[in-house]
Structure 1
Amino acid sequence: MDDPKTLVSTEWLAAHLKDPDLRILDASWFMPGSDRDPKAEFDAAHIPGARFFDIDEISDLRSDLPHMAPPVEKFMSRLRAMGVGDGHQVVVYDSTGIFSAPRVWWLFRLMGQFDVAVLDGGFPKWQAEGRPVEDMPPVIRDRHMTVRRQNQMVKDVTQVSSAAKLGDYVIVDARAADRFSGATPEPRPGLRSGHIPGARNVPFGTLLTAEGTMKSPEEIRAIFDTAGVDMTKPVITSCGSGITAAVLSLALERIGKADHALYDGSWTEWGAFPTLPIATGDA
């Protein structure tokens, strides 16, 4: 079920690789302490024609929080410098499978650009199938990008706090179950353990197959249902720092659930505020 607005297969990308208006972005990002350098790995090998999207740099560096959504002007200028703009079909991948690429998919949508898809299975699947890679930088030509920020797609801490109190949204946390319950400490120092009161837990990995591809829409619906996610309400996705929350956002879009927003500060923000309530244990 290839959909150029959500998810495309390696077969689809291989068939369209030479399309003049295709732009491919490597959005690899790794957890702090992983000892992996995504840019160095990109320079060594990437899908032909790909550009590197630096999630940490193309962000709001005025914020103390990691990789918050960038100002509109910064997003436009960085993408223009990469030769990505209006009229392009964008495909985003990462070197984990489906991990950080959905974050960039969500950023494009936040900026009003909807012709963007995540590569299902990412670079590992592409390589496993013996498809071409290169280590050459692409030829860049400037392309204007029109941005219309979709403010309803992102939530700040005040809005999420209100949603938790009123229950008018369902908050869904993408972190692993032991982090959600507070059984294990957070990887970032100084954060409390637990979750936003009333939140439901759908660890992002449960939405993926053993091969690192996204499960079918039917399986995705069942996973959200089992987690107690009330689909009659709009959804706010959350995680550790706003990366894997976008995997949930992508999965929701795949099942036709369009009224979702992402809590950009996520637990890095919530867990650092001593005055914000937390819950522990299972949802």
Structure 2
Amino acid sequence: MPYNDPKTLVSTDWLEQHLKDPDLRILDASWYLPDMNRDAKAEYAEAHIPGARFFDIEEISDQRSDLPHMAPTVEKFMSRLRAMGVGDGHQVVVYDGAGLFSAARVWWLFRLMGKTDVAVLDGGFAKWKAEGKPVDDLPPVIRDRHMIVNRQDHLVRDVTQVASASKLMDHEIVDARGPARFRGDSPEPREGLRAGHIPNAKNVHYATLLNPDGTMKDLAAIKATFEAAGVDLSKPIITSCGSGVTAAILSLALESIGHRNHSLYDGSWAEWGMFDYLKAETGS
């Protein structure tokens, strides 16, 4: 059964049916790791869902930070989205070119800024194109739109809060990286980072939540995947990954199954893995 929840996930058919809604705004939030050898901006310019704006995850971030693509300030988020013609009263749908990858990060950013009328396109642009749905290469007509945000600080965690949660074990810390990186068996793609994981963290590789076509698994399968990894779903959950992108897929999955007490460690392993004073565990 397809997802059609405008606050979490919507299907390609749902988006096609609503494509001409005046208060719909579509964002291409494609972002790729260096080893993927893909250029998100160039691909957007070549083809995108009609009316889509490009959301640059690297540019719409806190560029004062030494850590990659940290959440932007409220002021920067508002100004960039206003300039893109996205504002109060809009239903936002976010997609990416990998199926379901970086779009969840932008979904989480909107929620961090107090905007809940936002959904991820299940299966992304790849599924949209595979189904022969319309695409174009035209820039959207943009009119500035008023936006007021109210940052929800409970949805994000910093290194001090995560260290406390790790020690007290009063939260579940769930890492979205692949098993080899989690165990410390393979090196991190970013230079200067140790191998391993946050003590007492559990591992749910984001890909285990997805079907082969890049869509999210059904609700029962999502719940079973977390439980099979030893995650106690009755506890508050902190999601983490390499740099805060795929952790948002876990957050999206948790929200979809009705788990409301979750937050995201924005610095993730890009931060934790830098500092020797923070213990790194290896093994499963």
Q: TM-score, normalised by structure 1?
A: 0.99
- In the comparison of the two structures, how many residue pairs are matched? 282
Please state how far the C-alpha of 1:34 moved relative to its aligned partner. 2.8
2:159 is matched with which residue? 157
> 1:106-117 residue pairs with structure 2 within 5 A?
106-117=108-119
2:99 is matched with which residue? 97
Structure 1 moving runs of 4+ over 6 Å: none
Please state how far the C-alpha of 1:278 moved relative to its aligned partner. 0.8
> 1:195-234 residue pairs with structure 2 within 5 A?
195-234=197-236
Could you tell me which of 241, 260, 276 is aligned with 2:278? Answer: 276
1:208 partner amino acid: L
2:21 is matched with which residue? 19
Q: Give the Cα separation in 2 of the matches to 1:33 and 1:188.
A: 11
SS in 1 for 2:165: helix
1:166 pairs with 2:168: yes
Gaps of 5+ in 1: none
1:103 partner amino acid: R
CA root-mean-square deviation: 0.5
Please state how far the C-alpha of 1:273 moved relative to its aligned partner. 0.6
Q: Give the Cα separation in 2 of the matches to 1:120 and 1:87.
A: 22
Q: Give the Cα separation in 1 of the matches to 2:224 and 2:67.
A: 33
CA deviations over 1:78-105 (Å, ceiling 9, x no partner): 0000000000000000000000000000
Q: Identity of counterpart residues, as a percentage?
A: 71
SS in 2 for 1:237: strand
Could you tell me which of 256, 261, 264 is aligned with 1:262? Answer: 264
Q: Give the Cα separation in 1 of the matches to 2:22 and 2:255.
A: 27
Q: Give the Cα separation in 1 of the matches to 2:81 and 2:27.
A: 10
SS in 1 for 2:119: strand
> 1:131-142 residue pairs with structure 2 within 5 A?
131-142=133-144
SS in 2 for 1:105: helix
2:33 is matched with which residue? 31
Please state how far the C-alpha of 1:41 moved relative to its aligned partner. 0.5
1:159 partner amino acid: Q
SS in 2 for 1:43: helix
1:8 is matched with which residue? 10
Please state how far the C-alpha of 1:231 moved relative to its aligned partner. 1.1
1:192 is matched with which residue? 194
Please state how far the C-alpha of 1:36 moved relative to its aligned partner. 1.4
Q: TM-score, normalised by structure 2?
A: 0.99
Q: Give the Cα separation in 2 of the matches to 1:98 and 1:35.
A: 17
SS in 1 for 2:34: coil
> 1:178-189 residue pairs with structure 2 within 5 A?
178-189=180-191
Q: Give the Cα separation in 1 of the matches to 2:17 and 2:163.
A: 46
2:42 partner amino acid: A
Q: Give the Cα separation in 1 of the matches to 2:193 and 2:280.
A: 11
Q: Give the Cα separation in 2 of the matches to 1:33 and 1:256.
A: 34
1:148 is matched with which residue? 150
Please state how far the C-alpha of 1:68 moved relative to its aligned partner. 0.1
- Which of 35-44 and 149-158 deviates more? 35-44
Q: Give the Cα separation in 2 of the matches to 1:247 and 1:6.
A: 11
Q: Give the Cα separation in 2 of the matches to 1:180 and 1:56.
A: 25
Could you tell me which of 100, 119, 122 is aligned with 1:120? Answer: 122
